[in-house]
Chain A
Amino acid sequence: MQLNHRVAIAILALAVSINASAHAILTDSTPKPNGSVPAGHLALMLKYNSKIDQARSRLILIAPDKSETPLAITANTGKPNELDSAADLKPGAYTIRWQALALDGHITRGDLPFTVTAAP
């Protein structure tokens, strides 16, 4: 393993560690946790209990085949406690792995599992 790769893993470990402090909590989302949505273009919304630094947070879409795709977060100053994005989805079991940086510096991570059903 290359040194910079090791360093990245070490730092990743530290990042996840901050998850132990469940500081920013998800208060609402589209889709809902363990919910289902029809296939097609989907607007994603994750709402938190505190203001989020949207430019320094992260959303990753984990597809049914376990492949991971980073999602672009829409800058939205009018909704400072949201992370908004969009994706075109086919049927299957997905997870959004989120990492939110609250404005006070706390980093929280979590998973939002949901199912995409065939369009009616």
Chain B
Amino acid sequence: MALLVDIFGYLSVILHGFVIVTQSMTLGGLLFLMLLLHPLSPRLPQGDVLEQRVVRLTRWSAWGLLLSELATTALQVSVLMSTVDLSFANVMQASFAVAGSIKILCALAIALGLGRRSMAQPLPRVLLLLVGLLELVAATATTHAYARLDHNALLMAVEGLHQFGAAIWIGAIPCFVLVLRHLQDTDGLTLVGARFSRMSMIGVACILLSGITMWIFYVGDVQGFYGTAYGVMVGAKVAMFIGLLGLGLGNFLVTERLRKGANASVIRLRRFAEVEIGIGFTIFFAAASLTSVPPAVDLTTDRVSLHEIAERNAPAWPRLSSPDHDTLAISQLQTQLDREAARDHQVAQSATTPGSGVIPPRNAEDIAWSEYNHHWAGIFVLLIGFMALLGRAGAGWAKHWPLLFLAMAGFLLIRSDPEVWPLGQEGWWIAWRDVEVAQHRFFVLLIILFGAFEWSVRTGRLKSERAAMVFPLLVAVGGAMLLTHSHQISNVKDQMLIELTHTPLALAGVAAGWARWLELRLPGRGGRIAGYVWPACFMLIGVILLWYREA
């Protein structure tokens, strides 16, 4: 069990992502109800029904927050009780446990208290908002701000503002989409759209103000931005935030046209909002990943310089031939152990123990092996993007391009972890304990799934509209997961240089997934443009992979 260490570490980041998503949806739902839907309800056709739908969504979000926060807090409490030999009562007095308990109770109060009757009376509505505010305050006590050495009050206020901005904008978008789906009346759409635009602007202003302040206190300088894991992840968040702003601007223009009585595409409003949810939730998972690393200002050593980045990314011809498996560091170590065991007439030890947390040895051949994998994966992805474009241009045979995903999945499954069966000595099942192996297999599974679904859709084997959605969703999820992907390399700078390559890959994956979503869901010119964007993103991923270097 102790060998499941890193797997749980990875899962704890994912769990924290769910806490951020559900908290934003709960608070966003409350704000959407109190500031938008309830006041506008009498002026909307079937306003009561819409309100009940949003109430139900917000209640479910609150239950989700309760469960994810309960799991997170329970994990930490159990850890402390076990490792520091403390009683349950003692650990529950720790700041994080108090904050976690308050969050759980607030979520419970919202889940049980929100309903038709409470929405009808002013006092219960105000109380629900206060409970939401209390939850937000408790949430700031589990951020970096609470444990900083200086400026705690200021930084906690800023963290609160950041989370409030995320809730009132991104967290409320699912409610907005829900209402748009059931609202056909143009006047109603204009009312809802205009007010939600204003709410979004408040959210953007809060995020910008708090984001700039946190940049000053947590990143500090330009080298902290490009030279640390924290800075790179902030960069990924900023890039996605800019994408969200672009989509938000598009929606703002639609609502303005509606307000002026002009013709405007309501379907585009809905589709852009759907994509905003996807990208917004990806930002939340990036934020969860961010809380697990120290702020850039604290990491004064082991930063990567611009010269090192330029040196690592200098153009070089792709590595198209693989080193021999026997020359890899683990293979050589295993050979040595086998020889020693034979000499002493003993059973040979295994060179690796998956999940032990011991970082495996690496030599130049290991680096060449990994680069070869990345470069061939790049060729696969480049071909996929190119064939998808050909298919779009009318080449009928090119519709079989998703089969290349299946070939790539097979290639990665065998080659990604050379110490594991069939190439290495490590058993297939036992290797699940290794977090890097587990993540590689998860990505392979994603590739197989979206390749198979997309091929079935392209060749008419699957005719359901929902089946067509599997490919874009899984590509977007893959991109989001890549933001949390970790490599087990002891050298912090090397890890950082690899992360600098993987982050643009992840962002291109997220963009590709949501562009394909728009192609499927958005009729007219917008969908056609998106249809060219996602193959281009795939080709960009291919080029980045071909550029990849580990030394």
Asked whether A and B interact, the reply is yes
Which residues of chain A come closer than 8 Å to B357, judged between CB atoms?
Answer: 16, 19
Which residues of chain B come closer than 8 Å to A115, judged between CB atoms?
Answer: none
Cβ-defined partner of A99 (8 Å) among B83, B97, B435: B83
Answer whether residue B10 sits at the interface, using C-beta atoms and an 8 A cutoff. Answer: yes
A-B contact pairs, 16 of them (CB 8 A): A10-B1, A11-B81, A12-B83, A15-B80, A15-B82, A24-B147, A49-B149, A50-B148, A51-B149, A52-B147, A56-B91, A101-B84, A103-B95, A104-B142, A106-B147, A107-B79
> Of B241-249, B290-298, B391-399, B422-430, which stretch is located at the interface?
B290-298
A13 with B76, Cβ < 8 A, contacts A56-B84, A104-B143 known: no
Answer whether residue B141 sits at the interface, using C-beta atoms and an 8 A cutoff. Answer: yes
Q: Are the C-beta atoms of A103 and B83 separated by less than 8 Å?
A: no
A13 with B99, Cβ < 8 A, contacts A51-B148, A107-B79 known: no
Q: Are the C-beta atoms of A101 and B4 separated by less than 8 Å?
A: no
Within 8 A of A (CB), among B66-85: 75-76, 78-84
Which residues of chain B come closer than 8 Å to A95, judged between CB atoms?
Answer: none
Q: What 4 new A-B contacts, CB under 8 Å, besides A12-B83, A50-B149, A51-B148?
A: A25-B294, A56-B84, A99-B83, A105-B100
What is the 8 Å Cβ interface bit string for chain B, positions 426-447, against chain A (1 contact, 0 not)? Answer: 0000000001000000000000
Cβ-defined partner of A9 (8 Å) among B1, B10, B141, B142: B1
- Report the bound CA distance from A106 to B142 in whole Å: 8
Q: Are the C-beta atoms of A15 and B96 separated by less than 8 Å?
A: no
Within 8 A of A (CB), among B271-319: 291-295, 298-299
- Report the bound CA distance from A28 to B97 in whole Å: 28
- Report the bound CA distance from A10 to B83 in whole Å: 11
Answer whether residue B411 sits at the interface, using C-beta atoms and an 8 A cutoff. Answer: no
Which residues of chain B come closer than 8 Å to A7, judged between CB atoms?
Answer: 82
Within 8 A of B (CB), among A1-43: 6-25, 27
What is the 8 Å Cβ interface bit string for chain B, positions 46-82, against chain A (1 contact, 0 not)? Answer: 0000000000000000000000000000011011111
- Provide the main secondary structure of the chain B interface: helix
A105 with B95, Cβ < 8 A, contacts A20-B9, A23-B293, A56-B80 known: yes
Which A-chain residue is minimally distant from B99 (CB atoms)?
A: A105
Q: Are the C-beta atoms of B95 and A15 separated by less than 8 Å?
A: no
Answer whether residue A58 sits at the interface, using C-beta atoms and an 8 A cutoff. Answer: yes
Within 8 A of B (CB), among A81-111: 81, 99, 101-107
- Provide the main secondary structure of the chain A interface: mixed
Q: Are the C-beta atoms of B144 and A16 separated by less than 8 Å?
A: no
Which A-chain residue is minimally distant from B8 (CB atoms)?
A: A17
Q: Are the C-beta atoms of A13 and B95 separated by less than 8 Å?
A: no
Measured CB to CB, the residues of A under 8 A from B are 6-25, 27, 49-53, 55-58, 80-81, 99, 101-107
Which residues of chain B come closer than 8 Å to A10, judged between CB atoms?
Answer: 1
| Interface residues on chain B, size class | 35 or more
- Report the bound CA distance from A27 to B143 in whole Å: 20
Which residues of chain B come closer than 8 Å to A12, judged between CB atoms?
Answer: 2, 82-83
Which residues of chain A come closer than 8 Å to B7, judged between CB atoms?
Answer: 17
Cβ-defined partner of A11 (8 Å) among B12, B82, B142, B146: B82
Which A-chain residue is minimally distant from B3 (CB atoms)?
A: A13
Answer whether residue B462 sits at the interface, using C-beta atoms and an 8 A cutoff. Answer: no
- Report the bound CA distance from A49 to B296 in whole Å: 11
- Report the bound CA distance from A12 to B82 in whole Å: 7
Which A-chain residue is minimally distant from B76 (CB atoms)?
A: A105
Q: Are the C-beta atoms of A11 and B83 separated by less than 8 Å?
A: yes
Which residues of chain B come closer than 8 Å to A55, judged between CB atoms?
Answer: 90
- Report the bound CA distance from A99 to B79 in whole Å: 11
